[in-house]
Structure 1
Amino acid sequence: MAGSLFIIGMIILTQTVVGILGNFSLLCSYIILHVTGYRLRSTDLILKHLIVANSLVLLCKGVPQTMAVFGWKHIRSDFGCKLLFFLHRVGRGVSIGSICLLSVFQVITISPRSSRWAVLKVTAPKYMVLSLFLCWILQVLVNVIFPFHITGKWSDKNITKEIDFGYCSSGLTDKTQHALHAALLLFPDVLCLGLTLWAGSSMVLILYRHKQQVQHIRRTDASSRSSPESRATKTILLLGSTFVYFYILSSIFQVLLALFDQPSRFLVDITIIIAACFPTVSPFLLMSQNSSVQRLYLAWIRNAKSLLL
């Protein structure tokens, strides 16, 4: 058992360190590009919020969970547990909302002029900041009741049924209250997931129709080069499909947790590992697809080589 806990702890620690470094370096890249006057796309603002939300998820869940698994230190106050869980839930919700906004805005951007969405091409970017602000506010309001079910490991509260998270625990309420609470938390997630799936399928359809039109053009060499909009759409499709995959997988394990009154620590840890996969992987997906960030890294490498020489 000690060996399996050590392996789980190393996985969570690796996820946390790699994910935080990846998100931090990508955020620094965007800041440097903005300061140097590089013209970023309108969707890059959403990506910045996604990076911040993913970092919040990893910091508020991965760090204390790693400490709990290795037995380094425990959070002894109820307030600390409630705050970490609240920030984790808000970051997770904003991450889901950012993917949804990113997909919807990209569909509007690449929609043909004959489409009914064409009228939104000019107005949609104007509401991007407001949409992100409302996304944060909505997640704060929805998850404000979540800390009431979280207690510290050394709490004096007498809880007969609880889920042990290693450094904190969650008290289980009656079935009716638990079902209402779950429905309230799941409604924004399901809505965003549905919009993301719709936007992803719409982007695939638009790209397919564009490819069919391009095939009728004789100059295949010139037309075969993908446009910036097409590359950005494929990046968002890759990001969205990766998110949907890990979200569905994480939801399955969340349901398994809910089915047991006192689930094992192994099941809790595996659920945490799966939930942290997307925040860890997403910055590297973006760095591999973003040409502006790639050029910035190449410039750093050239400068480093020149300094060494």
Structure 2
Amino acid sequence: KKSLADAVLLMMAIRDVTVEIIFLTQTVVGILGNVFLLCHYTILYFTGCRSRSTDVILQHLVVANFLTLLSKGVPQAMAFGWERYPRDLGCKLFVFFHRVGRGMSMGSICLLSVFQVITISPPNSRWAELKLKSPKFIVSSICLCWMLQMLVSIIFPLYMSGKVSDKNITKKKDFGFCVAVRHDKVRDALHTLLLLLPDVSCLGLMLWASGYMVFLLYRHKQQVQHIRRKNTSCRSSPESRATKTILLLVSNFVYFYTLSSIFQIILNCLDNPSLLLVNIAAVMAALFPTVSPFLLVSRDATARRFYFVWIRNAKSLAVIRSM
């Protein structure tokens, strides 16, 4: 019986370590992808090679992804490999920045969808008047989104505490590097409802804009179908390609957000979630920030050229150093 119990404990330890390694690998890959994309957009901005209004929103999406991955990956690594946990203030800061980054990712995708709807709307639509004015409001909309996410995310650190803390907490829920302070169920339900309102609003607006973009793309395809028959070399317009890229981002975000939300709901329902479930929830929460830069690179010819030049230069430097 003792050997069987030891074998079970060993299998559980191997399982937890495997999930932790997957999460840390995912974090490193995601950070590298977002750093590459941020360098790409920064070079485009300073060289003036391409002037596209949505690039500004994509830059902030990359920053939000980077913030999400870093604020989750660093404390998880501390809890896993270093055997040192963030103190109370460090835990609250990590949780705050993670929630801001996560919320800003959703806000950026929402802004991308809305501004793209305005861009591709037909001249006789109600959005036509906003086409020329919309680029002027992009920066202010992004700043407003950052401020809103910071205000909403202030609530989260109030419910969290570091494992290394002087506070005597009787009701707590272990989340690996931090513990959550549990209150009565009514208070927790009101807190959850308050925090879900911005997410549900953004998600609803995002889905509406995506549905309208699909409708506009379908109608445009029907209108130019006879032109494609006459001219087989006819290519899709830049607006159409940008719209398809945004739709790809939205569909992936909704899919990964749904998976992450399911695990978050399970964690909130359980009084003492296992370490495995906490780690799987962390992996699910980091899926979109990890995948999105590679989706953007695959859809952007300029980014792909920049990537190949970057790889070629890195190989050249490696060869020179080895000589």
1:53 matches 2:101: no
Alignment gaps of 5+ in structure 2: 1-11
Distance 2:30 2:312 in 1: 25
TM-score where L is the length of structure 2:
0.90
Counterpart residue identity of residue 151, structure 2? L
1:31 matches 2:53: no
Alignment gaps of 5+ in structure 1: none
Q: Deviations over 1:218-274 (max 9, x none)?
A: 533243x11111111111110110000000111111111111111111111111110
Match of 1:212 in 2: 222
Moved more, 271-280 or 114-123: 114-123
- Which structure: larger Rg? 2
Q: Secondary structure at the match of 1:74?
A: coil
Distance 2:83 2:275 in 1: 17
How much identity, in percent, do the aligned residues show? Answer: 64
Q: Tell me how far 1:300 sits from its aligned partner.
A: 4.2
Distance 1:230 1:81 in 2: 44
Distance 2:237 2:313 in 1: 29
Q: Deviations over 1:255-297 (max 9, x none)?
A: 1111111111111111111000000000000011012212323
Asked whether the 8 Å contact 2:78–2:85 carries over to 1, the reply is no
Q: Secondary structure at the match of 1:170?
A: strand
Q: Secondary structure at the match of 2:226?
A: coil
Q: Deviations over 1:124-178 (max 9, x none)?
A: 1111000000001001111112111111112232323322121111111111221
**2:175 counterpart (143, 165, 176):** 165
Distance 2:312 2:255 in 1: 37
Q: Alpha carbons of 1:84 and 1:302: their partners in 2 closer, same or farther (altered >3 Å)?
A: closer
Asked whether the 8 Å contact 1:15–1:280 carries over to 2, the reply is yes
**2:213 counterpart (195, 200, 203):** 203
Q: Tell me how far 1:74 sits from its aligned partner.
A: 2.1
Distance 1:59 1:236 in 2: 24
Q: Deviations over 1:154-208 (max 9, x none)?
A: 2232323322121111111111221121112111111111111111111111111
Counterpart residue identity of residue 171, structure 2? K
Length, aligned pairs only = 307
Distance 1:185 1:149 in 2: 13
**2:144 counterpart (98, 112, 134):** 134
Cα RMSD between the aligned structures?
1.8
